[in-house]
Amino acid sequence: MSRNIIITGGAGFIGSHVVRLFVNKYPEYKIINLDKLTYAGNLANLCDVEQKPNYKFVRMDICDYEGVLHLMQEEQVDGIIHLAAESHVDRSIKDPFTFARTNVMGTLALLQAAKTYWDSLPEKYEGKRFYHISTDEVYGALQMDGTLFTEDTKYQPHSPYSAAKASSDHFVRAYHDTYGMPTIVTNCSNNYGPYQFPEKLIPLFINNIRHRRPLPVYGKGQNVRDWLYVEDHARAIDTIFHRGNVAETYNIGGFNEWKNIDIVRLLVATTDRLLGRPEGADEDLITYVTDRAGHDLRYAIDSRKLQRELGWEPSLQFEEGIEKTVRWYLDNQEWLDNVTSGEYEKYYENMYSKR
């Protein structure tokens, strides 16, 4: 069965892994990567699939309702996997308006374009799917008591980022309840792995260790996160898109909780070893800085529903995933330097301004 699928944010960290998986696994599908190419979007993440016959890139803002509608009509789109989002909490604290625009209004534009196009077809919603990827941060914070976020956990967002994502989740569910659109929502824990923009903890600290720069840890480093290797998340998205039940929510997590300070020490030990330095030699780079406003204490996902109903489970232990991740960044220093310098942004602006 052939399908025409839009993957939004496909030039970003998680999105590029999903695009790669779908392009390579489903040659009968047409995969349309729709990305605005903000600072976190980089087509170099997909250079290995850009010439594939079933791949197409479209530079577009998801807030462009008319543009998205025209693209859906032109490509006869029957599926949307929606990953495009502003996602960095620190940036959301400084600029909440951008997060509301992209995460809320952008999602609404996609939903309305999908509704308008699919409503115009004789078969309506038959065979269609709108899959919205969200975050565990919409649930708020957990105490250090072993409890986990489930699909029934009440939403209690604490940052502009998580508030914007929570709002977009509600719109997706409302389009199912009001119009009958076949939607699915997933909430995932922290991802790590290759191609992550180095403002996030793991790639930032690998790069800082490499250059012997300070490793700024918020507060005392006691905040806990549940970590999932990005390729495992991409596999989960594949499974849920094809086999998940309409109108359901699925939590995706690694059952892999780590305190931030313990992750930093593991990164130091692993990076030093792979650089040929004495293991732990760079622990003196760790510095403690004032905690972030509204910094949630702990996130932890219960993904047993996904395991039980669809058979998905994470494939890597954290230490193994960190080893692969650190090695990838050290082996791809040109990519890391290019992203850190911002040169790729200038290249895209010049390229697309001439069209």
**Residues with catalytic annotation?**
136-137, 161
Identity at 323, one-letter amino acid code: E
Instruction: Using alpha carbons, select from 202, 198, 221 the residue that is nearest to residue 298.
Output: 221
Tokens of 68: 């998205």
Tell me whether residue 349 is exposed, middle or buried, using C-beta atoms within 10 angstroms of its C-beta: 0 to 12, 13 to 18, 19 or more: exposed
Sheet (strand 257-259) strand order:
190-192, 224-229, 257-259
CA distance 162 to 104: 11
Tokens of 275: 């650089």
Report the relative pairing of strands 224-229 and 257-259 from DSSP bridges. Answer: antiparallel
